[in-house]
Amino acid sequence: MNAPASEPVLSLVPVLSLVNVDKRFPGVHALKQVSIELRPGEVVGLIGENGAGKSTLMKILSGVYQHDAGEIRVGGRPTRFLDAADANSQGIGMVFQEQSLLTNLSVGENIYLGNEEQFTRFGIVNWRTLYDAAARQLAKVKVDVDPRARSEELDFASRQMVELAKALTLEERGAGHLIILLDEPTSVLERAEIEILFARVRALKSRASFIFVSHRLDEVLELSDRIYVMKDGAVVAERKAGDADVNELHHLMVGRSLQAEYYREPLQKPYRAEIAVEAHGLSLTGAYRDVSFQLHRGEILGIAGVIGSGREELTRTLAGFAPHDGGRLVVNGREVTLRTPAEAVDSGIGYIPRERRVEGLVLFLPVAANITLADLESLSRHGLIDAHEERRLATSWVERLKVRTPGINTLCLNLSGGNQQKVVLAKWLNAKAKVLILDHPTRGLDVGAKEEVYELVRAVTTEGLAVILTSDTLEETIGLSHTVLVMRDGEITHRTSANPGAKPRQVDLIGHMV
């Protein structure tokens, strides 16, 4: 863990302040008299459950929405952001959770996308000058990336640094002290990558101030100087990071304490004797080798390990994305080699991916269509979908899983992360999956949404569903699982039971991971 953020030298005039800002949508009072301020050289954390108003506030600050009432001041001067370009011109840049880079363009083209005119003469772009300028921006965030490389060739962490470099180009437009909005920038980063990002942010505090939105409360405490807590569209608390802890922030967000029952341990029931999945010496060249385990009905099997341990590739094998080339895999009593995701589905395996918005959902289809997507055959009558039956099934799952949505015809794009995850779960339950692979199932969810997911997972395992879990945190893996396998360098190095009241300690497992 890095040292706490150093206390910045603050001026009396905030670089950004919101005074009683209000925003309404039809039927929704999204922001209610919100007042916050950001000082020079400061990192302000912004936390709250999904639906608390964080996204609306960030969209107002980035120029996507305009506020209805109240006042926004930049450097003490009242202003209104007419659009994203106007927000940029006033020194506000944004690093997006989903990333805004166009992967078919080079790094340099992305950094100056929309601002190529400074390198253009008589309609011709001076590429050498553009790439030299892009290299200077990349140097600010200390990332070793060729500005001529295509963005799709970079890993996620490097693309996140390019996003940060892109935001820093606002300095060149005479915008003065920069304001950079960090929207869940760590949601798919590993710990080592997060530490690099945090180091870059701290180094940039002499030239920029930051608003840091994250669901990871420990990271908010680590990076921020002050923290604002939002609930139901309003700011309900402000804390200095040094005076707060995770339990207090959790309580302020959701109105209850973070307890030992967070992972619903009292709901963990013994698994059944019946075996759902067996692996015997399973291997995939270059990824893992000689992996053997049994997964029983009603069991949650957690797989722990660092990047490169082989656990990610193992779960992809079970989901049909990376067929094994050695050993035996038996699913529901039948030996299989899963060459495609469709074959995994046919074998009764459902997969909830870490990138639910990319791999788990069709965002521009309604809730009902997404829920029935994996089992259209049972809805088809003479080649046509039985719309009445689809509505009945979707309504039933929405009610059972308590999906918060205006209706089953609402596009999944418009749901919160937690409710999107419930729709993905409903899809596989509706398809009568017997085995469910949870690949980082709570990534990007707030603590309240995580608790709902944990409760649903406990409920479906009680009914006999078998679950394989890989998680963002070792704590979550231990808390949810019946059994934990630890992998290192492609091999299983340790296995242990994780019975209620006798969970292994994190420190007991870490030694087998590294």
122 Cβ contact list (under 8 Å, min separation 6): none
DSSP state of 431: T
DSSP letters spanning 14-56: -SEEEEEEEEEETTEEEEEEEEEEE-TT-EEEEE--TTSSHHH
List, in sequence order, every beta strand (DSSP E) within 184-332: 208-213, 226-231, 234-240, 275-284, 288-296, 300-304, 326-331
468 Cβ contact list (under 8 Å, min separation 6): 277, 295, 300, 301, 303, 315, 318, 435, 436, 437, 438
Fold equal for 13-91+175-257 and 262-268+275-348+434-513: yes
Maximum separation of any 2 CA atoms in the chain, in Å: 75
Q: HSE of 407 in the Cβ direction (CA atoms, 13 Å)?
A: 3
What's phi and psi for 209, nearest 5 deg? -115, 155
Determine the pLDDT at residue 276. 95
Determine the 3-state secondary structure of 115 from DSSP. coil
289 Cβ contact list (under 8 Å, min separation 6): 283, 326, 490, 491
**Among 266, 277, 315, CA closest to 465:** 277
Q: How many CB atoms lie within 10 A of CB 342?
A: 10
User: Nearest 10 degrees: CA dihedral of 228, 20, 22, 406?
Assistant: 40
- Domain limits, the chain: 13-91+175-257, 101-174, 262-268+275-348+434-513
Q: HSE of 489 in the Cβ direction (CA atoms, 13 Å)?
A: 3
Determine the pLDDT at residue 88. 84
Q: HSE of 207 in the Cβ direction (CA atoms, 13 Å)?
A: 17
Determine the 3-state secondary structure of 202 from DSSP. helix
Q: Which CATH class is domain 13-91+175-257?
A: alpha beta
Length of the chain: 514
In whole angstroms, give the CA distance from residue 91 to residue 80.
13
Q: What share of the chain is helix, strand, coil (3-state, %, to 5)?
A: 40, 25, 35
Q: Where are the alpha helices (DSSP H) in 337-473?
A: 341-346, 367-372, 387-401, 417-430, 447-462
514 residues of the chain, pLDDT tens digit each: 444 444 444 446 899 999 999 998 876 788 999 999 999 999 999 998 767 888 889 999 989 899 999 999 998 899 999 988 888 888 898 887 655 778 788 888 888 887 788 888 888 888 999 999 899 888 887 778 898 998 888 877 788 788 888 887 877 665 567 898 988 887 666 777 788 888 888 988 888 899 999 888 889 999 999 999 998 889 999 999 999 888 888 778 876 555 546 778 888 889 999 999 999 999 999 999 999 999 999 999 999 987 778 998 999 999 999 999 999 999 989 999 999 988 998 999 988 887 777 777 888 889 999 898 888 777 777 778 888 888 898 898 888 888 888 889 888 888 877 788 888 888 888 888 899 998 888 877 777 777 878 888 898 899 899 999 998 788 889 989 999 999 999 999 999 999 888 888 888 888 888 7
What's phi and psi for 344, nearest 5 deg? -65, -45
Q: HSE of 134 in the Cβ direction (CA atoms, 13 Å)?
A: 26
Neighbour order of strands in the sheet with 349-352? 349-352, 435-439, 466-470, 300-304, 483-488, 491-497
User: Nearest 10 degrees: CA dihedral of 463, 466, 472, 474?
Assistant: 90
CATH of domain 262-268+275-348+434-513: 3.40.50.300
